[in-house]
Chain A
Amino acid sequence: MISQLTVFLQNEKGRLAAACRTIADAGINMHSLFIADTQDFGVVRMLVDQPKKAAEALRAAGYRATITPVTAVRIPNQPGGLAKLLEYMDSQNVNVEYGYCFLAGEEFAIDVLKTDEDIELESKLAEAGFQTVAPEEIYKLD
C-alpha cells in the first residue's frame, strides 16, 4: 500500500496554487497530482515525498488534508496493460473507487487504484503475477 495525500479544495481561483505553495514551503517534492472536480469543490490527490509531513503542513495552514491508502501496480507500457489489471479486479469482485495512471520511464506505467478491499488485495495481486509497488519506489518515506 502506498500513502496518497488527499486535499479538499473549494472550487475557487488560486486555491490549488496556494495549496501547492504550502507543500513547496514545507520543502516537499511532488511526484504526481490529479484533480477530481465538481461544481463547487475539488478533491486533489497527490503522491509526494513524506506524505504525513505534507498533510500536517496543510492542516496547520487550515486545509482539510488526509492520507489515503491506495494500491499501486507496475504495468508494462503496452496495449492492454491496464485492461488486464482491471479485468482481474473484476474477477475478484473488487470495486474500484477511482484510479489514475502515470508513466515511470519508457517501459512501465504505474496504475494507482483506490479500492474497497485494500488490505488483502496486494498479496492477491502478487500471487496473480502483478508487480505491486512499494512506497519507497515512488516517494521518500516519512
Chain B
Amino acid sequence: MYYQPDIETMPVEQLRELQLDRMKRSIAHAYENIPLYRERFAEAGVVPSDLKSLDDLVKFPFLTKQDMRDCYPYGLFAVPSSDVARIHASSGTTGQATVVGHSANDLKNWGDCFARGIYMVGGSRGSVIQVSYGYGLFTGGLGAHAGGEAVGCAVIPTSSGNTKRQIQMMKDLGTDILACTPSYALLIADTAIEMGYDPAKDFKVSGVILGAEPASENMRQEIREKLGVQYCDVYGLSEVMGPGVAMECAESHGLHLAEDHFYAEIVDPETLQPVPDGTYGELVFTTLTRECCPLVRYRTRDVTRIIPEECACGRTHRKIDRIVGRTDDMMIIRGVNVFPSQIEQVITGFPEIATQYQIVLTSNGPLDRIELQVEPVADFPFDEIRKLEDLKARLHAELKSNLQISVDIRIVEPKTIERSEGKAKRIIDMRN
C-alpha cells in the first residue's frame, strides 16, 4: 500500500525528468528572489540556465549552515510575508538559531512526505497515531502531526514528556503508531515494563516512526522487540523541511528519499566532490518544490550513503542508509575519527549492559582521554567483582579492536546516566 502510488513508484526515467524540470524552476526561483544566491552564483560564474541536466548541478556553489545563520532572520526567504504560513527554527544549541519559513504549499507537501511513512508502517485512514515528538519550533511534533492529518489518522498530540501518562494514553486509546525519538521510544518501553505491562502483547501499537537522533541496529532491534512493532526510521532536518525527507519502508534496508521534492547528493566532506553510490559521505540537498526557503546544494553535515539497489517494496525513489554520524559530531580522539554510533554499536553487542551510555572526553596533558560510562542490566550478578572486571576487560578489548583507540570503561550505578525525553546527551566534551 502506497500513500501516493503514482509518485512513489514512478519509473526512474520519468522521475529524473520530473526532478530536472522542478530543479530548473527551483534554482531560478531562488536566484530571482534571494540576493545571496545571485552573489554566490556570480562568484562561481554560473547562472540558472546553465543547468541542462541533473549532472550540471555540481557546477553550482554549496550553501552551509553558517550561511543560514548569517542570513538570519529573513535573508533566505523567497516569498513575501503574506505568503509565509509558518516559521520554524532550529534549536540553536550550537550557535545562532536558524529560521526556516514554509508556505501553505510547503506545509502540504511536508504532510504528504511524512504520510508516505505512515503507510510504510501499515497505517491508513482511521489509524491512531500518537505524536510524542516535542511540539513547537522543533519540526518533529508538527511534522508528524501534519503527516497524520494528511493520511486521515486520529492524531494524539501528546508531545514529549510525562511518560507515564503517554503510556496510559497509548494503552487506553489503542495507539497504532508511535512517533518520537528512538531514545524516547525506549524510555516509554522500559517505563511501561516497569509499570508491569508487556507492551509487545498488552498494547495495540504496531508501528513506530522514529527519528531526530541516531540509533544503532541493536537499539532498533531492542525497540522492535520491547514494543512489538515495525520500525520506520524517519530522516529530516528543519533547514530542508523537517521529518519526512526520507523514510524507511518495511524492507528495513534504507530510507526512501522523497525524490519528487528533494534531490540528494553524497559528497566527500573534505574535497566536496561527489562520491560513487554506496560510499559514505556528506549528504547534500537541493530542494525541488520549496516556495518559501528554496535551497541549492545545502550541506547537511549528516554522513550516510546511497544504497544502490532496487527495493522489493516497489518504490523507485533512491534510498539512503541510516545516518552514521555528523561531520561535526565526529570526535577526533588522538587523531582518530570516531562517531558515537560506532561506540553504541559495540555496546549493544553486550547484553549485560543497558543501552544508555555516556562518553566523557577529557584532556590528560597533551593526550585525549575518553571514558565510557555504562550501567549493568538489573539482573547482572554484580555480587561477583570478577564478573564486573571481566565485563570491563571484554568491552575495552572490543572497543579497541573496533575503534583503534583505548577507551576507559567506568561501570556506574543505574539511573546515573540521564534518560532523555528529547535528544539524548551522549557526549560530554571537557577537553580544553
A interface residues, Cβ below 8 angstroms from B: 6, 8-10, 15, 36, 38, 40-41, 43, 45, 62-64, 66, 68, 97, 114
Does A8 lie within 8 Å of B410, measured CB to CB?
no
A104 → B minimal CB distance (Å): 23
Are A43 and B416 CB-contacts (below 8 A) given A8-B376, A38-B389, A64-B376?
Answer: no
Indicate if B278 sits at the interface (CB-CB under 8 A).
Answer: no
> How many angstroms between the C-alpha atoms of A64 and B375 in the bound complex?
10
B28 → A minimal CB distance (Å): 60
Does A64 lie within 8 Å of B389, measured CB to CB?
no
A-chain residues with CB within 8 Å of residue B415 when the two chains form the complex: 62
> How many angstroms between the C-alpha atoms of A62 and B417 in the bound complex?
12
| Given A45-B383, A63-B413: 15 more A-B contacts, CB < 8 Å | A6-B382, A8-B376, A8-B382, A8-B413, A10-B413, A10-B416, A15-B413, A38-B385, A41-B412, A43-B383, A43-B385, A64-B414, A66-B382, A68-B383, A97-B386
A4 → B minimal CB distance (Å): 8
Are A64 and B378 CB-contacts (below 8 A) given A6-B383, A41-B388, A114-B383?
Answer: yes
> How many angstroms between the C-alpha atoms of A41 and B409 in the bound complex?
11
Does B412 lie within 8 Å of A10, measured CB to CB?
yes
> How many angstroms between the C-alpha atoms of A9 and B411 in the bound complex?
10
Closest B residue to A5 by CB, please name it: B383
Question: How many residues belonging to B are interface residues under a CB distance threshold of 8 Å?
Answer: 17
Indicate if B384 sits at the interface (CB-CB under 8 A).
Answer: yes
B-chain residues with CB within 8 Å of residue A63 when the two chains form the complex: 413-414
Does B414 lie within 8 Å of A41, measured CB to CB?
no
Closest A residue to B378 by CB, please name it: A64
Q: Which of A9, A15, A62, A64 has the most CB of B within 10 A?
A: A64
B387 → A minimal CB distance (Å): 10
> How many angstroms between the C-alpha atoms of A43 and B382 in the bound complex?
8
Interface of B is mostly: loop
A-B contact pairs, 27 of them (CB 8 A): A6-B382, A8-B376, A8-B413, A9-B413, A10-B412, A10-B413, A10-B416, A36-B385, A38-B385, A38-B388, A38-B389, A40-B411, A41-B412, A43-B382, A43-B383, A43-B385, A43-B388, A45-B383, A62-B413, A63-B413, A63-B414, A64-B378, A64-B413, A64-B414, A66-B382, A66-B383, A68-B383
Interface of A is mostly: strand
Does A40 lie within 8 Å of B382, measured CB to CB?
no
Does B410 lie within 8 Å of A40, measured CB to CB?
yes
B-chain residues with CB within 8 Å of residue A45 when the two chains form the complex: 383
B304 → A minimal CB distance (Å): 36
Q: Which of A41, A45, A68 has the most CB of B within 10 A?
A: A41
B-chain residues with CB within 8 Å of residue A6 when the two chains form the complex: 382-383
B-chain residues with CB within 8 Å of residue A9 when the two chains form the complex: 413
B390 → A minimal CB distance (Å): 12
> How many angstroms between the C-alpha atoms of A66 and B414 in the bound complex?
14
A35 → B minimal CB distance (Å): 11
Closest A residue to B408 by CB, please name it: A40
A-chain residues with CB within 8 Å of residue B412 when the two chains form the complex: 10, 41
A86 → B minimal CB distance (Å): 19
Closest A residue to B409 by CB, please name it: A40
> How many angstroms between the C-alpha atoms of A36 and B386 in the bound complex?
11
Closest A residue to B381 by CB, please name it: A66
> How many angstroms between the C-alpha atoms of A15 and B386 in the bound complex?
22
A-chain residues with CB within 8 Å of residue B376 when the two chains form the complex: 8, 64
> How many angstroms between the C-alpha atoms of A105 and B386 in the bound complex?
33
Q: Which of B380, B382, B386, B415 has the most CB of A within 10 A?
A: B382
> How many angstroms between the C-alpha atoms of A45 and B412 in the bound complex?
18
Closest A residue to B414 by CB, please name it: A64
Closest A residue to B375 by CB, please name it: A64
Rank and list the top 5 A-B pairs by shortest CB-CB distance, nearest first: A6-B383, A68-B383, A8-B382, A62-B415, A40-B410
A-chain residues with CB within 8 Å of residue B413 when the two chains form the complex: 8-10, 15, 62-64
> Which residues of B390-432 are within 8 A (CB) of A?
410-416
B-chain residues with CB within 8 Å of residue A15 when the two chains form the complex: 413
Q: Which of A8, A9, A38 has the most CB of B within 10 A?
A: A8
A-chain residues with CB within 8 Å of residue B385 when the two chains form the complex: 36, 38, 43
